[in-house]
A and B are shown apart, each in its own frame.
Chain A
């Protein structure tokens, strides 16, 4: 069966460190992989998209890698700040489809 797995345990890091979140998937052939941020009581907010033929994408302090052989994406936040504390969701779109399937997300807590 198809699965998108993100670490269910919260990730606790200190301000200034790099946060790395993992998204693993099985039985998908994703054309696109996206990362979203969700704050309590709010809807997810789109952050970054990476295509299947791209290895890495950067946006300001954010970096996403995509390894279709390992079936894994890593999401990095460098120089993390308490304001980065949120739940981060990865989402996949299979080739030939029009919709995103989301992982359950990983909560990131950045302490001062």
Chain B
């Protein structure tokens, strides 16, 4: 298995532009998580899905953020419009059932909004 695949690895965009981050979870995993990591706040959970259904999006900072999971093998996190304070590393992770089995993280997308 290639693991959790995220794209792009790096994204530099101008303030106000729309940004779409993509994630392909491990086949057979039924949970998918989006986290954001910054030096100040560490890893923060944004949203998670179970069997493609969003369960808890209370970590999404603002309405500018949205996430979808149209099928078991693909999820997107969209920021529209982007702002400099959104600059961070965004990780997607997947797991089988819940955390007792550990999460498998992707390599992340480093987002820079200028």
Contact = CB atoms under 8 A, between A and B. Distances in A.
A32 interface: yes
Interface of A: 32, 34, 41-46, 49, 51, 89, 91, 93, 98-105
B105 A44 contact: yes
A89 B48 contact: no
Interface residues of B, number: 23
A46 B103 contact: yes
Given A100-B99, A104-B42, A43 B106 contact: yes
Contacts of A45: 105
Contact of B107 (A43, A91, A93): A43
Contact residues of B: prevailing secondary structure? strand
A34 B42 contact: no
B86 to A, nearest CB: 19
B42 A99 contact: no
**Which of B42, B56, B106, B108 has the most chain A CB atoms closer than 10 A to its own CB?**
B42
Nearest to A105: B42
A46 B33 CA distance: 15
